[in-house]
Amino acid sequence: MKNKDIIIKYCIYFVSAVGLAICVAMLFPQVRQMIIELGERMLHRKTSLHQEWSDTLFSYAMGGILLIVLFDYCLLTVSGKKFVRTVKNEIRDCFIEINFRSFIKPIVIMSGIYLLGILSIIRANFLYLDDAGRTVAGYRSWYDWSRYVAEFLSVFIHADYHLTDISPLPQLIAVFVLAAGSVLSVYILNDKKITIIGLLACIPLGLSPYMLECLSYKFDAPYMALSVFASIFPFLFLSRKKAFVVCSVICLLVMCMTYQVSSGIYLLITLILSFNYWNGKQKTNREVFLFLGRAFLSFCIAMAVFKLFLMKPYTTYVSNSMLPLSQLLSGTLFNLQTFGNTVNSDFGFIWKAIIGLVFCFFIIKSVKKSAQNKMISLAAAIVLLCVLIVLSYGIYLVLEHPHFPPRAMYGFGVLLAIINIYVVRNYNKSAKIFALALSWSFFVFAFSYGNALADQMRYANFRATVLLQDLNDLYPDKDKEGNNISVQLKNSIGYTPCVKNIGKHNPVIYKLVPRMLMEDEPWSNYYYLLYFNYAHFNTANIRAAMKIGDTYINFNALNLPVVLKTYYHTIRSDGKRVLVELNEGTK
Read off φ and ψ for residue 441, nearest 5 degrees.
-65, -40
Higher-pLDDT residue of 313 and 90 is 90
| pLDDT (tens digit per residue) in 422-474 | 999 887 888 899 999 999 999 999 999 999 999 999 999 999 999 999 988 88
pLDDT of residue 41: 67
Question: Cα 416 to chain center, whole Å?
Answer: 17
526/533 Cα distance (integer angstroms): 10
The Cα 262–Cα 487 span in angstroms is 38
pLDDT digits (tens, 9 = 90+) for 489-505: 889 999 999 999 999 99
pLDDT (0 to 100) of residue 530: 80
- Report which of residues 453 and 485 the model is more confident about: 453
Choose among 514, 513, 529, 511: nearest CA to 580: 529
Residue 538 confidence (pLDDT): 53
pLDDT of residue 375: 92
What is the DSSP code string of 27-56?
TSHHHHHHHHHHHHHHHT---S-HHHHHHH
Give me the residues paired with residue 347 across strands: none
How confident is the model at residue 21, as a pLDDT?
83
pLDDT at 68: 83
The three-state (H, E, C) secondary structure of 516-543, written as one string: CCECCCHHHHHHHHHHCCCCCCCHHHHH
Pairwise pLDDT comparison (451 vs 487), residue with the higher score: 451
User: How far apart are the C-alpha atoms of 107 and 98, rounded to whole Å?
Assistant: 15
pLDDT computed for residue 39 by the predictor: 66
Q: Which of the residue ranges 6-10, 148-152, 211-215 has the most confident prediction, judged by mean pLDDT?
A: 211-215
Count CB atoms within 10 A of the CB of residue 144: 12
**Percent above pLDDT 70 for the chain:** 91
Q: How many CA atoms lie within 13 A of 230 on its CB side?
A: 27
SS3 assignment, position 586: coil
Residue 25 has pLDDT above 90, yes or no: no
Q: What local confidence, expressed as pLDDT, does residue 548 receive?
A: 41
Gap between the Cα atoms of 291 and 284, Å rounded? 11
> How large is the average pLDDT for residues 58-72?
81
Contact 272, 422 (CB under 8 A): yes
What's the DSSP call for residue 347? S
- Please compute the mean of the pLDDT values over residues 55-74 and round it to a whole number: 79
Query: Kind and range of the H or E element at 442?
Result: helix 429-474
Contacts 24+ apart (CB under 8 A), 344-352: 345/507, 346/209, 346/406, 346/409, 346/507, 346/508, 346/511, 347/209, 347/506, 347/507, 347/508, 348/505, 348/506, 348/507, 349/505, 350/441, 350/505, 351/438, 351/441, 351/506
Q: Which of 35-49, 71-85, 133-147 has the lowest mean pLDDT?
A: 35-49
Please give the Cα distance from 201 to 432 (Å, whole number): 8
- Strands of the 562-565 sheet, one edge to the other: 486-490, 577-582, 569-573, 562-565
Q: Using CA atoms, how far apart are residues 246 and 462, in angstroms rounded to an integer?
A: 54
What is the average pLDDT across 408-424? 94
Q: According to the model, what pLDDT value does residue 574 have?
A: 86
- Which pLDDT belongs to residue 52? 65
Query: Rounded mean pLDDT of 224-244?
Result: 94
The residue ranges of every structural domain in the chain are 2-76, 87-427, 454-582
- Three-state secondary structure call for residue 483: coil
State the pairing for strand pair 562-565/569-573.
antiparallel
Write the pLDDT tens digit of every residue in 177-223: 999 999 999 999 998 899 999 999 999 999 999 999 999 999 999 99
Confidence of residue 316 (pLDDT cuts 50, 70, 90): low
Contact 204, 438 (CB under 8 A): yes
Question: Is the distance from CB of 558 to CB of 574 less than 8 angstroms?
Answer: yes
Backbone angles phi, psi at 213, to 5 degrees: -65, -40
**Cβ-contact 544, 532 below 8 angstroms:** no
Tens of pLDDT along 363-406? 999 999 888 889 999 999 999 999 999 999 989 998 888 889 99
List C-alpha distances in Å: 188 to 113, 151, 236, 421.
20, 30, 7, 10
At residue 550, does pLDDT exceed 50? no
User: Which is more confident, 543 or 237?
Assistant: 237
Mean pLDDT of the 228-257 span: 94
Helix ranges (H only) for 280-406 are: 285-305, 328-346, 349-368, 374-391
Pairwise CA distance, residues 195 & 214, whole Å? 27
Confidence of residue 2 (pLDDT cuts 50, 70, 90): low
324: preceding bond cis by omega (within 30 degrees):
no
- Label residue 58 by pLDDT band (50, 70, 90): confident
Q: In this predicted structure, what is the pLDDT of residue 307?
A: 87
Does residue 539 have a pLDDT over 60?
no
